[in-house]
Amino acid sequence: MCGIVGYVGERSALDVVMGGLRRLEYRGYDSTGVALVVDGQISAAKKVGKLANLDKELAEHPLPGSTTGIGHTRWATHGPPSDRNAHPHVSNDHRVAVVHNGIIENFADLRAELEAEGYEFTSDTDTETVTHLVDRELRADAPDLTEAVRRVCNRLEGAFTLVIADGADTDRVVGARRNSPLVAGRGDGENFLASDVSAFIEYTRSAVELGQDQVVTISRDGIDVIDFDGNPAPVTEYHVDWDASAAEKGGYDWFMLKEIEEQPRAVADTLLGRHDAEGRLVLDEMRLSDDELRAIDKVVIIGCGTASYAGMVAKYAIEHWTRIPCEVELASEFRYRDPIVGRSTLVVAISQSGETADTLQAIRHARQQGSKVLAICNTNGSTIPRESDAVIYTHAGPEIAVASTKGFLTQLIACYVLGLYLSQVRGTKFGDEIGSTVAELEKLPDGVQALLDRADEVRALAHELADHRTFLFLGRHVGYPVALEGALKLKELAYLHAEGFAAGELKHGPIAVIEPGLPVFVIVPPKGRDQLHEKVVSNIQEIRARGARTVVLVEDGDTSVDPYADIVIRLPQAPTLLQPVLAAVPLQIFAAELASVLGHDVDQPRNLAKSVTVE
């Protein structure tokens, strides 16, 4: 959740660090701070609340100039949000400063040990324990900060990213990671550390992957990586294919609005290069052989929040196209229920950031059981893809707003591509059938754009319904996870009570809450050979008869719902399995507009963060 920045170079470290923290605000935080290396000591400033509070503090009490520094935006875990608990934490002698993401599980024992030696603690955090441990190593016989950090890491239990500065060393910042994100950026005469490449993308697009249990040292001259045992670690560099402007609002009031508008391109980019000249699907990141995929007899999809709803859609598609049994699990519950997985199971992990703690722990459990793991992810070089046997990158570009929009749509596309690829390898669909479905997928960017062109209708509806405090969403088949996603978006952004239901369950309880004027969104499936369409139309009649205000999402040309709908939102035509890509868009627009009408921060909803990197 928290944001971290570290810098060594020739620029003003304060400017670089503060700029990086601003680009990491989307991660969610409740306090912030910076520390600079100045004349053999650490000079620090930190404040509870938003970066504006720190800006004010720095204006009133400026820090000395420096070219080496670290910074942090904190999401409270140990100790409430306050000035004293904000990072960085500085040692008693003002030599060491530490910023930290994650949780040190054995901090209480370590703190007791340090207090017995005379160290004074000034915060309630687990992080301060690390500060004093590093300081102790430097006071003893550690030759430099890198070695001090390596020794301390071997005493820590839990998930953590650490970035540390030593006031006595003007040319070094050291980081370490275990189960929490950290990436290095390589510049010319300057180098960077951050929890996300967006923090330093203004200065360099050359990034260095950091593996598990590694210590990284940045200086003006280079980036050195060792493991926790002190052995040199291989360095893998990659090029970030988006620039700083991609992370700016581009004239929109909110990042989320910009990202909603970017969805046609994001969907197209996720499909780009997925088939060869003969029309066969090609997945460059697929590191599993055809024989391994043919041996799969069960697929388990794991994810959290919006990603889990993408997985629910994927279940319908994968089972229909491949005839492989498919389960969908909340990643946070997966390893705690003793799941039945093994060597013939393919676990599909969906995560926008690639750092989601619950999902990461779930794939590790799956691999311990011998399962193959395939990641669907948007972030190149992140932990989940690196620890998986294969990956499908979604190529959505940076998603800054906390509530996922283009992340969700591109996850759906990647799931469809995976399902079709499995059907190709296993021979459950003919090539022309796969080609026909791919052609339908390639129509979706135009369909999403058509919905965006009509967005004013949905925005007007948000203004019209702004005085309501409860909303229901109904869907069947793949419309059910769309209903869940629509309700989640409204809860995330507008802080209103919203529930998504399977429409077939209406008479099994939910119909009891229907009352006059209650807004109910209904996703109607396209007409097909089954009876789903007619059954959902019957549901609309049932709730309309009880006074509900029906907002019906239905494909163009279907007028069968018109007599029972108070408001109709037309969707471009698409096959049933692909309709979620289109149906989700109006619900995103509605939630964002309603939140804005109610005066909420659309990009950074209260209590939420973009990446949940602790369990």
Res 483: pLDDT:
98
Determine contact, residues 259/242, Cβ cutoff 8 Å: no
Instruction: For residues 365-391, give the mean pLDDT.
Output: 92
Res 285: pLDDT:
81
Nearest to 309 by CA among 390, 409, 393, 385: 409
Residues contacting residue 558 through CB under 8 Å, at least 6 positions apart:
524, 526, 527
381: left (phi over 0), alpha (psi -120 to 50) or beta: left
Determine contact, residues 246/398, Cβ cutoff 8 Å: yes
Instruction: For residues 194-211, give the mean pLDDT.
Output: 91
The beta strand positions in 55-125, using DSSP E, are 68-74, 89-90, 96-104
pLDDT digits (tens, 9 = 90+) for 518-541: 999 999 999 876 789 999 999 999
Which region among 359-368, 571-580, 605-614 has the lowest average model confidence (pLDDT)? 605-614
28 pLDDT higher than 70: no
Instruction: For residues 602-614, give the mean pLDDT.
Output: 77
Res 224: pLDDT:
97
Q: Residue 368 has which token pair?
A: 């311990």
Is the pTM value of this prediction over 0.85? no
1 pLDDT higher than 60: no
Cα–Cα distance measured from residue 247 to residue 400, given in angstroms and rounded to the nearest whole number: 7
Cα–Cα distance measured from residue 312 to residue 21, given in angstroms and rounded to the nearest whole number: 35
Cα–Cα distance measured from residue 292 to residue 372, given in angstroms and rounded to the nearest whole number: 9
Which pLDDT band, with edges at 50, 70 and 90, does 447 fall under? Answer: very high
Residues contacting residue 587 through CB under 8 Å, at least 6 positions apart:
473, 482, 485, 486, 489, 521, 553
The CB density around residue 157, as the number of other CB atoms within 10 Å, is 13
Residues contacting residue 289 through CB under 8 Å, at least 6 positions apart:
none
Determine contact, residues 102/159, Cβ cutoff 8 Å: yes
Catalytic (active-site) positions:
2, 610
Residues contacting residue 29 through CB under 8 Å, at least 6 positions apart:
1, 2, 3, 73, 74, 75, 609
In degrees and rounded to multiples of 5, residue 551 shows phi and psi of -110, 110
Determine contact, residues 409/416, Cβ cutoff 8 Å: no
Residues contacting residue 518 through CB under 8 Å, at least 6 positions apart:
468, 470, 471, 472, 547, 548, 549
pLDDT digits (tens, 9 = 90+) for 143-193: 999 999 999 999 999 889 999 999 999 999 999 999 788 999 999 999 999
In degrees and rounded to multiples of 5, residue 300 shows phi and psi of -120, 120
Higher pLDDT among residues 506 and 231, named by residue: 231
Determine contact, residues 46/31, Cβ cutoff 8 Å: yes
Instruction: List the domains of the chain with CATH numbers.
Output: 3-242 (3.60.20.10), 255-442 (3.40.50.10490), 453-597 (3.40.50.10490)
Res 26: pLDDT:
65
235 pLDDT higher than 90: no
Res 240: pLDDT:
85
Res 365: pLDDT:
95
Mean pLDDT of the chain: 93
The DSSP code for 42 is E
Higher pLDDT among residues 276 and 480, named by residue: 480
